[in-house]
Amino acid sequence: LKETDVGITQYVRNDMGFTGVLKARFSDFLVNEIDVHGKVVELTNQHVPQTKEDEINIGEFDSIRLDTMHILTEDIWESIKALVDERDLKSKSVNIKVDGIEKTERTKIHKLLKYEFGNKIATSTEDFNGSKVIKCVLGKKGARERSKWLWPGEFVWFVIYKENADTLQAASDLARNLRLQPSHVFYAGTKDKRAKTTQLFCIKKREPLQIMEAAKRIKYMQVGNFEIKNECLQLGKLKGNRFKIALRQISGDVNHIEKLLNSMQKYGFINYYGLQRFGNNAEIPTYQVGLAILKEDYKEACELILKPREGDSSELKEVRDFWWANRDSAKAAAMLTNNKFIEKKLLEGLALSGKNDYASALMRLPRNMLLLYTHAYQSFIWNQIASRRIKEFGTTLLQGDQVQVVQTDVRGQFPQSNFDVPNEAEEAFEDSSVVDALLLKKTVRTLSLEDISKNVFTIFDVVLPLPGFDVTYPSNVVGNWIGELLKADGLSSEKLKHKVKTFSLAGTYRKLLIKPEDLKWEFKNYDTPTCNLIESDYDKLQCVAAAQHLPEGKFKALILDFQLPSSSYATMALREILKYDTSSHSQYTLGENEKQKGLDNNQ
């Protein structure tokens, strides 16, 4: 998938760029969340707070867990959890065989179970069918309700640092180790996989020590900076992200590169939706599925999701090919061993609903996945309009443009720096922030000739709408373009009010241009192609330094440090200075060239 495939074609300034390899290693891309108060979220300590009544040896339960893994298997843990959650109504107890286990070891098991489940269960050592067992039963109702929570607030907030893992994976793995549902792990926004990322997480009524121990069992994750609060962390409640990025193997004159950076600092970049928004397949980008859904062509949508394509794993390729040829959904679903594939969920839906009930099958997909498709279509339209607006009129203000009036956030927490809802927060925004959305729309107004003559607004105040049934369009030619694109696709603003509520698009606004905040940079020469060029939060905690600048180094890197609002893409800022495609294919080609240069220089 290339940038031009999704409407990304223009630059604010058409100077000559330079080349550099982006994400040659995931450690070249660091992301730190910025909370609603404008504070950069960093992992600075791993101290576990303790209540005065609960002085626990931090390593004690790790040790017990390791010593008893052969007894307390995953199946045993799951059975106890089902008992506690009262999911298994037939089973009144769980028996753990402890034949030949010394009393001191049995005591440790009792202690660990007490720590994990508190008063929710009661344990005792008994003889059962000739074996010695530890019997777990539900605690008495009153005791369960009185389970002690000794902290001043209900919610444990903490900083999570992760490497080469996205937010959803981290939340799922942490929840599993804490024996929680992933939905019980709260966060403000999602971060990409191929990076080192730091953000806030929040869990209700789980001891900080338990969270720390759970994280220790996940190799890519570190946690710390615990705080106890009365309120829960809400999805979408973040100001943005700070990026530290290393562009390796840069070519071009240093003075010219600095001119490009100064230019972007002054003129900004086009606030395109990046390629991540559209999937990774050029044949079937996500917006095509979204268009089919919006047109109520559910058969087409299902076929696009299941259609054979290049780049699949051998297992998925076999399944797609089989289904495409035979349309046996049940058998195709059974061929997929990984339950995480959306293709498996869709195939199961087709098998259950009947091979022609494509609408019901689609509705078996997670809601956030369905939203991803329809929002990708909105984003595709927005990118095309932004490109044409810049191509035909540059950064000149036009009568009829729409601008955002400066206003504090609905809760008075921070100025709304970008009007679009964060990519990761759209579902929550629609469900729980309807009042916010209405107020946001009221802060947009149409630009008059008088406004332009008085220099009241600049191009950085201009917003473009994402099409929808409840949004106004610019009262100039730009508004006409939106209608024309929708019409060409067999849609209209009115038709975006879908009869299936999940698929309805009300519309919102997004800043046309963005300036990176607090932009800093440095050049660093290095010899080893794989050396670490930037220190992460965890590197700092471990006193691991990044590679030093070598005046005579074989290679040159550009290290960038800047902040963006939550719905903006760092890759789109980088393309403004690089002036070339940031797609994975382009980066792979450049990366291979860097490897070859490294080999040539070492010969």
Return the active site residues. Answer: 192
Which residues does residue 520 pair with via DSSP β-bridges, in sequence order? 561
- Name the DSSP class of 421: P
Q: How far is CA 143 from the centre of its chain?
A: 39
The per-residue DSSP string of 440-493 comes to: HHHTEEEPPHHHHHTT---GGGEEEEEP-TT----SSHHHHHHHHHHHHTT--T
CA distance 589 to 597: 12
Is 421 exposed, middle or buried (CB count within 10 Å of its CB: 0-12, 13-18, 19+)? Answer: buried
Q: Is the dihedral of CA 478, 483, 489, 492 positive or negative?
A: positive
Q: What does the block give as tokens for 221?
A: 């994750």
DSSP-derived 3-state class of residue 22: strand
Residue-level length of the chain: 603
Please report how many Cα atoms fall inside a 13 Å half-sphere around the Cα of residue 201, on the Cβ side.
31
DSSP helix/strand/coil, 85: coil
Helix (H, G, I), strand (E, B) or coil at 404: strand
Provide DSSP, 130-166: TEEEEEEEEPPHHHHHT----SSSSEEEEEEEEES--
The single-letter code of the amino acid at 419 is F
**What are the beta bridge partners of residue 33?**
241
Residue 598 DSSP SS3: helix
Gap between the Cα atoms of 243 and 83, Å rounded: 45
Choose among 48, 52, 73: nearest CA to 60.
48
The 10 Å CB-count burial string (b at 16+, else e) for 203-221 is beebbbbbbbbbbbebeeb
Vertex 256 angle, CA 243 and 250, to 5°: 55
573 sits in which H/E element: helix 570-578
Tell me 495's DSSP state: G
**Strand, helix or coil at 427?**
helix
Q: Note whether 440 and 449 are within 8 A (CB).
A: no
How far is 321 from 496, CA to CA, in rounded Å? Answer: 33
CA distance 414 to 433: 16
User: 8 is written with which tokens?
Assistant: 């990304």
Structure tokens that stand for 263 in this block: 């230019």
| φ/ψ of residue 35, rounded to 5 | -75, 180
Give the distance from CA 502 to its chain's centroid.
20
Q: How many helices (H) and strands (E) does the chain have?
A: 21, 18
Distance of CA 202 to the CA centre of its chain: 16
| Neighbour count for residue 296 (Cβ, 10 Å) | 14
